[in-house]
Structures are given as structure tokens and as C-alpha cells.
Chains A and B, each alone.
Chain A
Amino acid sequence: MSGAGASVPKPPCPAIDDVTPWLFRRTLDAALSATGGILLLVALVHLLPGDPLAAVLRDHPADPATVAALRERWGTDLSLGQTMVRFVGGALRGDLGISLSAGLPVTTLLAERLGPTLLLGGLTLLINFTVGLALGLWSALRPATLRAHLLGGLTMAGYALPSFVLGLILVWVFALQLGWLPPAGYSDPLLAPDAGLGAHLLDRLRHLALPLATMVLATIAVPIRHQRAAVAETLDAPWVLAARARGVAPARLAWHHIWRPALTPIVTLLGLWLPALVAGAVFVEAVFAWPGLGTLIADATANRDVPVVIGAGAVLIIAVQCGSLIADLLYRLVDPAQRRS
């Protein structure tokens, strides 16, 4: 792609090294926001009236010595300051406490559940920001065709339908009526462990298909609409008219003169939009019993398993902060004007 533009002199580019102090400051900022947010949640739970151990003690009555030991273990009668110190001290040693319902370290549970969520969320992001942008560009370039109207209707449907309703509709059609795909789960428990890599890969893809389709359909409307609006705006730009007058080929015009400038608003969108992906993950994972962080945090909330809720929440908060950091970095790469500040 860049080979075609070799004859055009490149505009002078600011030195790369001026990004380092900015990146340092921005990373520190993200780390402070994430830490502040997580500590705010720890403080909130502490200040709320309920006793997380009450449910455990109701189901399993224990003698006073055991109760005291349990309270000591989960630190339920510490003051706010002690709770914060205990949490920070543990977190620095990689210890987020012990699950109230599973009895396992929170970090063990998180490690188990992180992979499936990253797989589903990462693929959703990838598809949204490749297929979504391509569809947005295409529908802005030829706005009046039947296919573009169809696409508009489809994205509106994804916009209006809650993800969990959409997921159940897909389950009904593709798993129950047509029988093409499994209705839920992460892998087939009956598949032999020695079935070979190909069989396992196919099995994972089959289980991934419906949750991924639900996530993408529920969220892709946003990048399509934004890209479409941004492209529609650059279509009227004077440099596009000039390029067209010079006789630049349509494909090159779309790629070089229209798409690059229209990318800037999309990159900012990426950062703003990650929290929505978290909500999608929780609800869509619930529909498909996907063993990720979303189902973990939902089950833990139902069990009032506060250490796990805080731990999984912390991972999601850190993921969102990392995402917005990456988005800001991309923004500087895409928009040269940003590099000067």
C-alpha cells in the first residue's frame, strides 16, 4: 500500500522521541486512575451496611472461636483504614484475598477466567475495528444503495436489541432450530483430550461462534456509524476535491485522502467505548455460560463473595485503563497535530 505512494514526498514528521515524556505522564495517570478507582470500590464496600460473612454463617453455623477466626481471615471487623492498608499490602504481594464461596485464592480464580474473556473481547474488538470500519467507509462512499440501507437497518437492530435478547434469539435460531452450533459452553466435555489439535480448534471455534456473533452484532453499530459520519465529513474536504480534480484513482482516493483523516475520531471512540465492552461481556457471557470474568463477577455478586467481586472488578478496570492508554497512543500516531502538544 505504501509502495504506491513512494513518488509523493512525505510531509516532515516530528521526531519520535518526543513521545516518551508524554507516554510516561500518561501511563502514570492511567495507573493512578485505576488505583484510585479500585480503592474507591474497596472503601465503598467497607462503608456499606451489609456483613459479607452473614450468608456463610447462616448456612454453616459455627462456634465463637471459628467465627472469630473467619472474621480474622477475611478482615470483616477492621476499620476503613486497616482494610485499605490490608488490601494494598496484599495486592502488592499479588494476593487479593480468598474467595468466600470457593475457598480458593482470588488470583487463582482470576487467572482461570481471564483467557476466555480476553479471547471473546479481543476478537470482538478486532472485528469491530476492521470489518466495522470497512463497512462504515463503504456505506459512506455509496450511501444510496439497497445494501447500504440494509446495513443501516441491521446496525440499528443491533443498537436497539439488548445483547442478551439478541444472544437468546441467535441460540434459538442457530442452536435449537438449525442445530448448527452448540447453544452454550466453552468446549465439548465429551471430546477426547487426545482428539488432536484440529478437532479441539474446531470445537473451540464452534463454541465461540454464537457469543462472538452476539458481541459483534450488539456493538458494531457504533464504529460503523462513527466511521460513516467521519468519512461523510472528509468527503467534502477541499483536499478531496483537489485530489479528485487531479484525477486520483477512486481506490487511492478512498484509502489515502478520505480514510486516513477520518480515522482520528474512531481512535478516540475506542477508548470511550471499552466500558461498554465490559457490560457486553458480563451479559453475553451469562447467556452462553462462557467461563470468563463476566460470569465470575456475576456469580460472585450473587454469592456476595466480595473479594472475588473486587478482584474481577479490578482486572476489568485495569483493562479499561490500558485500553484508553493504547487509544491515546494510537491517536497521537494517527493525528500528527496531537504530537506537538
Chain B
Amino acid sequence: MTRATRCAVVLLALLLGLALIGPWLAPDPLDQPDLLGGALLAPSAAHWLGTDQFSRDVFARLAAGARISLGIAGGAIAIATLLGTAIGLLAGGARGRVADGLRRLIDLILGLPRLVVLLVLIAGLGTLTPATLALVLGATGWPAIARLVRGETLRLRETGYVEAARALGASPRRTLWQHILPGAAAPALVAAALGVADVILLEAGLSFIGLGIQPPAPTWGGMILEARDHIAAAPWLLLAPGTALVAATITATLLGDGLRRRLLPELR
């Protein structure tokens, strides 16, 4: 494990700690304003990260936002990885029209800017819950993983051990599941890990332009949007969610790199 990966593990522990036990450490319950204390307070012992324009504790919102933002990112990546691996295996394992059609579909979607597809889906769906947002982010994330898995499947299909399995009479399905999937899983996992940062940033960006999970639910992107209107009076409102966002994306990127070094050492 390199020093960077160790840093990332510590950061990950901090972020998960914030999400899991943070809400209990906050002085006020979520969304209960400290009316006596006041709005837009600077960080202090009573409010570690200050209060926002509605006198709500920023730390409590940051911790609750970590649950929502990291939860959505985790869900989206799980969906994208499952879909991408399944479709990639099928596209690489099948022959003829199915394989051709899937390859074209993957290339077609990868040629579109992901944000445009996301906005079209959101415009069509209307209101979003955390579950639908994770679904939409996952549904736009699978083609990158599918292309990788497809290429890996095509490569593994020609290797000696797969040929040997086929010669021993393994069915195409068994060959794909037992012999190709374990080999194609490592690059899929690495691609998934490296995609986490993108998903976190997209979710925060959508909330920032008012299209993600709607207030009063706390999200990091939404907190940055609210901080924007009070940035002259209370610049620290930007600092807390901004730092959390940067920490999360750096953690995801470093862990993804670490995973790549561990699982795919030949790619160095």
C-alpha cells in the first residue's frame, strides 16, 4: 500500500464516520433551527461549522448530507457496475446481430455527453428521490464499464484456458460465467472505483444547479448553492461542503488508483 492509498483510507474512514455517527454528534437535531443562537453564525464551540441562513447547524447538515451524497454515489456505482458487466459480457460473448447491436448501443451512448443524457432523463422524470437519482446516475454510467468488459471478454475468449474449457465441452454460458467473468471482473471493479468521483461530482453539480435532491433535504451540492447567496456575509458556509466534496473526490480517486495498482499491476 502506498502512502497515498493509506491517506485515502484515513480520509475514507473520516467520511464514513461523518456519515454514520456525525448526526449524533451535532448539537441540534437536523432541520431544527437554533432560534436563540441566530442565523449565519461563525464557527464556534456550540456550532462547530456555524449556522446557515435558517439558523440550522451546518455540521448536522454536512453529516446528513454525507449520508445522502455518498449513499447515492454508492447506489449509482453498484447499478452501473452490474449493468455494465452484464451487458459487456453479453456483447463480448455473443456473436452476430446481438453482439453488433450492443456494441453500437454502447458506442452511441458513449458519444453523448453524460450530463446532457442526465438532464434529459431528469426533465422526463420530474421530481427525484435519492433512489431514482441513483438509478439515473447508474443508468448513464454503465456504458463505460460495458465497453471495458466487452474488450476484456473478447481478449479472454481467445486465451488458451478458455479454449481448453470449450474443448472439454463447457457450454457458452458456463464459459462466460466460470472462465471469463472472473478475469473481466478486475478491470470492471477498477473502472467502477474510478467512476465514483465522477458520480459524486455529478450529484453535487446537479444539486448545485437545483436539479438534484430538493431542499430542505441536505446535500453537499445544495448547501453550496445556499452558501452562494450568503457568500459575502458568511463565506465559511462554502468551506464546509466544498471541503467535504473535495475530500470525497480525492479519496475516491486515490482508492481507485490503489485498486488499479493492486488488481491490474501490468497496466502501470
Contact = CB atoms under 8 A, between A and B. Distances in A.
A212 interface: no
Contacts of A278: 113, 115-116
Contacts of B201: 162
B100 to A, nearest CB: 14
- By CB atoms of chain B within 10 A, which of A33, A161, A164, A309 has the most? A164
Given A48-B121, A162-B205, A171-B231, A275 B113 contact: yes
A302 B207 CA distance: 11
Contacts of B202: 279
A165 B119 contact: no
B116 A316 contact: yes
B126 interface: yes
A169 interface: yes
Interface residue range, chain B? 35 or more
A164 B208 contact: yes
Given A40-B108, A282-B209, A313-B119, A50 B124 contact: yes
A165 B211 contact: no
Interface stretch (B33-41, B174-182, B187-195, B245-253): B245-253
Contacts of A320: 111-113
Interface string A157-180: 000111011001101100010000
B106 to A, nearest CB: 12
A274 B249 CA distance: 21
Contacts of B115: 275, 278-279, 282
B167 interface: no
A36 B173 CA distance: 32
A300 B115 CA distance: 14
A45 interface: yes
A120 interface: no
A309 B123 contact: yes
Nearest to B233: A176
Contacts of B168: none
B205 A164 contact: yes
A301 interface: yes
Nearest to A282: B115
B40 to A, nearest CB: 15
Contact of B208 (A37, A283, A300, A310): A283
B125 A36 contact: no
Interface residues of A, number: 47
A44 B122 CA distance: 11
Contacts of B146: none
B250 A37 contact: no
Contact of B224 (A165, A282, A297): A165
Contact of A306 (B113, B123, B208, B242): B123
Contacts of A50: 124-126
Contacts of A321: 111
B154 interface: no
B27 interface: no
Given A169-B238, A172-B238, A317 B116 contact: yes
9 contacts: A37-B109, A40-B109, A52-B124, A162-B205, A282-B205, A313-B116, A316-B113, A317-B112, A320-B111
Interface of B: 107-109, 111-117, 119-126, 201-202, 204-205, 208-211, 224, 227-228, 231-232, 235, 238, 242, 245-246, 249-250
5 closest Cβ contacts across the A-B interface?
Answer: A48-B124, A275-B113, A278-B113, A45-B124, A313-B116
Given A168-B227, A279-B115, A316-B113, 7 more contacts: A52-B123, A162-B242, A168-B224, A275-B112, A275-B113, A283-B208, A317-B111
Interface of A: 33, 36-37, 40-41, 44-45, 48-50, 52, 54-55, 160-162, 164-165, 168-169, 171-172, 176, 274-275, 278-279, 282-283, 286-287, 297-298, 300-302, 304-306, 309-310, 313, 316-317, 320-321, 324
